Amino acid sequence: MLSEWLRARTAWLVGRVARLVATSGVSPNALTVMGFAFTAGVAVVLAQGAFVVGGVLLIVSALFDTLDGGVARATGRVSPFGAFLDSTLDRWAEALLYGGLLWWFWQQNQGLEATLAYATIIGSLLVSYTRARAEGLGIECKVGWFTRFERIAILVLGLLLDQITFALVPLAVLSNFTALQRMWHVYHVLAGEHKPRSGSG
């Protein structure tokens, strides 16, 4: 996935910045909460129709999402709850962003765009849910085209270019398609595990 490729090539930079931020004494969980609060503010901006401004602010909010994990590793404060908190607030934050768009389009009587934003909320949540449910069954499930990184990248691009309608089409379609990809992956893994095997003699 693109996110894994980019993470591998920017790990050194994120590590340096994270170590610098860690000297301030701020905790990783505090960074996670601050990032969520900032993203919620971006959602309010989008709900006002200020798409280009929202796109710029969304880039800034992505820094929090990158740094909390880096600070946790730099300070040795990696914890199961920290990972849980980060993942949960990420889901809320993303839903709020598309919710802000949904509110704006609903107020403008733009039914198609509002529907696309709603479909994207569903797809983004299902992508995360299918992975979590699969991992609960002991199956690694990182497959699929549109992870959170790809979704945010497309959203930022659409906002900065003020072409959010064109961005919402792939977001709505491919986020839900990714959930289907993960369902298909889990089906095949489980089918393989329960496939009858012939005896050896």
Secondary structure (DSSP) of 5-64: HHHHHHHHHHHHHHHHHHTTT--HHHHHHHHHHHHHHHHHHHHTT-HHHHHHHHHHHHHH
Q: Which residue has the higher pLDDT, 162 or 23?
A: 162
Confidence of residue 30 (pLDDT cuts 50, 70, 90): confident
Helix axes 148-160, 51-75, angle to 10 degrees: 150
Q: Which amino acid is at 53?
A: V
pLDDT of residue 2: 55
Residues 146-156: what's their mean pLDDT?
92
Q: What whole-number percentage of the chain has pLDDT above 70?
A: 85
> Which of 61, 56, 63, 48 minimizes the C-alpha distance to 14?
63
CA distances (Å), origin 118, targets 41, 112, 156, 187, 188: 19, 10, 17, 27, 29
Residues 121-146: what's their mean pLDDT?
94
pLDDT of residue 75: 76
Which pair of structure tokens corresponds to residue 1?
A: 């996935």
H or E stretch at 143: none
Q: Range with the lowest mean pLDDT among 26-30, 56-60, 155-159?
A: 26-30
Q: Domains of the chain by range and CATH? A: 2-193 (1.20.120.1760)
Which pair of structure tokens corresponds to residue 83?
A: 């990972």
pLDDT of residue 79: 86
pTM reported for the whole predicted model: 0.87
Collect all residues with Cβ–Cβ distance below 8 Å to 151 and sequence separation of at least 6.
94, 120, 124, 171, 175
Q: Which residue has the higher pLDDT, 9 or 169?
A: 169
Residues 40-45: what's their mean pLDDT?
97
Q: Is the pLDDT at 200 greater than 50, yes or no?
A: no
Q: Which residue has the higher pLDDT, 177 or 17?
A: 177
Residues 43-66: what's their mean pLDDT?
92
Which pair of structure tokens corresponds to residue 137?
A: 């069954």
Q: Which of 37-51, 63-77, 132-146, 186-200 has the highest mean pLDDT?
A: 37-51
Q: Is the pLDDT at 182 greater than 60, yes or no?
A: yes
CA distances (Å), origin 196, targets 52, 99, 124, 193, 199: 56, 47, 35, 9, 9
Confidence of residue 137 (pLDDT cuts 50, 70, 90): very high
